[in-house]
Amino acid sequence: MLNNFKTVLLLGLLTGLFLFVGSLWGQQGITIALVMSVLMNFISYFFSDKIALKMYGAKAVTRGEAPKLYSMLDYLCGRAGLPMPKVYIIPSDSPNAFATGRNPQNASVAVTEGAMRLLDETELQGVLAHELSHVKNRDILISSIAAMIAGIIMYASYMARFAMFFGGGRDREEEGGGALGGLFTIILAPIAATLIQLWISRTREYEADHTGAELVGDPRGLASALQKLEGYSKRLPMEASPSTAHMFIVHPFSGGGLMSLFSTHPPIQKRIDRLLGRAA
């Protein structure tokens, strides 16, 4: 519940930032940005699953080809009240997994060959539960909304930069904002929008961990899987595109310190600590 509250709060902050930028830029400019962002995210929402699966060479497998995966998913989907997703295996030695699809009826779960070899049955079940939780919690929809609002803000900032470069900024001063507002729109608003969007992504990962642990009934399998996945994925990094890396259970571009602010995933150790703390 706490992670869901944080998500709602962050979406509210993102919307407030959008309205503030819109008041500085004017109705016509923000309308153009809105149309462009909605169009881009509409395409992403409906076709991102096919793009991601094709990008990583994922192969659809039948029940006979992957009986262990299907057996685990049958059990977890029954507990979660979800329809059976399409099942894919990615031909990669790097251990990882992701779920995609705009709703439970169009969901897909993909697991790499490396994860199949590395994880034991309890750990693999924890990973699958985490991915199904993204489907159950409608995280694809939430991410699309956040991306759309952030995209509007960024597009508006680019338009403001273009206008100021060609001398249009002076004409805007009387409409509101002035030089300080223009500076905020161009520099600070896109950074703030990106940070909030990434923060939303991290809260959804925590929530998927929590929901996944509840589906299995024991968080230790997922915690152990996260520990293994992080270690082995560093030795065998996956060549993931930044545009789709957020979908994986272990983010190949995560960093510590300040860089954690710009990661779509929380630090693995924090996720493990939360899982095991919840078990205690």
Q: What is the pLDDT of residues 49-60, one digit of tens each?
A: 788 899 999 999
Residue 125 near residue 76, CB atoms below 8 Å: yes
- The pTM of the full predicted model, rounded to 2 decimals, is 0.78
Distance CA 52, CA 243 (A): 9
131 is catalytic: yes
Q: Tell me which of 65, 121, 131, 214 is the catalytic residue.
A: 131
For 224-244, how does the pLDDT look when each residue is reduced to its tens digit (9 = 90+)? 999 999 988 888 888 777 767
Amino acid 74 reads D
More confident residue, 2 or 129: 129
For 133-171, how does the pLDDT look when each residue is reduced to its tens digit (9 = 90+)? 999 998 877 877 777 677 777 776 766 666 666 555 445
pLDDT at 245 > cutoff 80 = no
Q: What is the mean pLDDT of residues 186-208?
A: 84
pLDDT above 90 coverage of the chain, percent: 42
Give the chain's domain count: 1
Residue 216: the pLDDT is 96
C-beta pairs of 214-217 under 8 Å, 24+ apart in sequence = 215/76, 215/79, 215/80, 215/129, 215/132, 215/133, 216/76, 216/125, 216/126, 216/129
Q: What is the mean pLDDT of residues 44-73?
A: 90
Distance CA 127, CA 207 (A): 14
Please give the mean pLDDT across all residues of the chain.
80
Distance CA 189, CA 151 (A): 11
Q: Where in the sequence is the domain holding 265, given as residue range(s)?
A: 2-279
Residue 238: the pLDDT is 83
